[in-house]
Chains A and B, each alone.
Chain A
């Protein structure tokens, strides 16, 4: 479904990602794990068109999307739930969700989708008129996830959905991501919480200094002694 071939991404002269290749098949749950600064977020930004790829190609459903505008990539079906939630703080919960379906025109279906999300996260319904910046971290993350789903994506990129959340909420977030995948949405997730990510995913890639150093199924990597030592602390 999504294929990155030999991608290089630069911030000025410094390349944050080099020679990265990965593949996400339809219906899969794939994770990228790695330390801070390994290039995980950069990779996601490159896929969704926020950063240009200096080299390499990205194809989605057979079409070349390398360096396509962000709006076109979203329209093709790639949603992105960014790192640190990034809700629009001075806009209401409802307006944040409306921004999620900015490109959609099907009013009735939008309304249905919003009601469904409200059923799933009743707290968002309670606070629909409240400024998103006043929500708690967990609520903001639910909003950010819901907002990403409002575009009815075929593939969602999750960037550290557990970042900065209380431990009980971390599990809840992973469960939510898992549910989304079970509903038929393909997932590419970046996580520092390697153990949880590997347990949930089908396939995983380990990123170090902008390069893929290991890949395999989640359970393979959980067994891998290097991964255990570097990322799982055992």
Chain B
């Protein structure tokens, strides 16, 4: 029983960051219809920026986190402006190839800059874990979870209750008509891609102090993000959030009770099963953002 509770707690905490990754990608892949292979690289980028600010420059941990996320947004905006804007009406294959190129380029740039040696980041949190009854969790994981949940809620508010969010939804529901309403379509594309990328960078920056940082850390994350988005239904905000938690539970319990060697496989086995029975994902498109 204690073990079960401990696994559930670990899964919940991991699920928060998976949800961030999923929401970020569902905005880009589900709504903008861009098969975004750079999502994992933005995650890696966020992690390295956290390392850069906290360990290299000696910036305050929390300020470093904010800076890492801000730079993730900026890198996302740059990718959109430089690579995607010229391909706005190109077919999906062209965009996909360009994004695969961007993925390779970004990963190698990171390897070149930081070498292949894994890095770790110190946290300001106490080393003694938080003990609740029979389970325990480190304070740094509690922090990751709280920030992830706040960002999920913040993103939801942005999409549903701000002028920018409305313009985003309108643009991806009907681009021409949104333009007729006075929406500057190009800006919305850049903003949406930047926001999705920023969420991936945030997940990387949050998890970096818990795990270690290395150049190919984004590969498995990218695959998992796609899995989460497909699981939740393309373009479905809460679907991506819930999908993130489902994947985390599948991994945690699979690793705990079946075999830890198959940890990363659990999620994909689950997705194969879900897609056999519900090919459109777990959730209908009713809650779609765009």
Contact = CB atoms under 8 A, between A and B. Distances in A.
Given A74-B182, A75-B182, A102 B174 contact: no
A141 to B, nearest CB: 14
Given A99-B166, A102-B167, A88 B173 contact: yes
Interface string B117-155: 000000000000000000000000000000000000000
B245 to A, nearest CB: 24
Chain A contact-residue range equals: 20 to 34
Contact of B174 (A49, A71, A74, A88): A88
Interface in B166-203: 166-167, 169-170, 173-174, 176-184
B31 to A, nearest CB: 11
**Among B170, B174, B181, B289: residue with most chain A CB under 10 A:** B181
A95 interface: yes
Contacts of B289: 90
A205 B119 CA distance: 72
**Among A50, A75, A102: residue with most chain B CB under 10 A:** A102
Contacts of B163: 102
B263 interface: no
Interface in A29-48: 45, 48
Interface string A75-100: 10000101000101111000100111
Given A82-B177, A102-B163, A90 B169 contact: yes
B181 A99 contact: yes
B40 interface: no
A151 interface: yes
A144 to B, nearest CB: 9
A48 B180 CA distance: 7
Interface residues of B, number: 19
A28 B166 CA distance: 34
Nearest to B178: A99
B290 interface: yes
Interface of A: 45, 48-50, 69-71, 74-75, 80, 82, 86, 88-91, 95, 98-100, 102-103, 147, 151
Interface of B: 163, 166-167, 169-170, 173-174, 176-184, 288-290
30 contacts: A45-B176, A50-B176, A50-B179, A69-B184, A70-B179, A71-B182, A71-B183, A74-B182, A75-B182, A80-B180, A82-B176, A82-B177, A82-B180, A86-B176, A86-B177, A88-B170, A88-B173, A90-B169, A90-B289, A90-B290, A91-B166, A91-B173, A95-B169, A99-B166, A99-B167, A99-B181, A102-B163, A102-B181, A102-B183, A147-B181
Q: Give 10 nearest A-B pairs by CB, closest first.
A: A103-B182, A71-B182, A86-B177, A70-B179, A74-B182, A99-B181, A88-B173, A102-B181, A80-B180, A102-B182
Given A86-B176, A100-B181, A103-B181, 9 more contacts: A71-B182, A71-B183, A86-B177, A88-B177, A90-B169, A90-B290, A91-B170, A102-B163, A147-B181
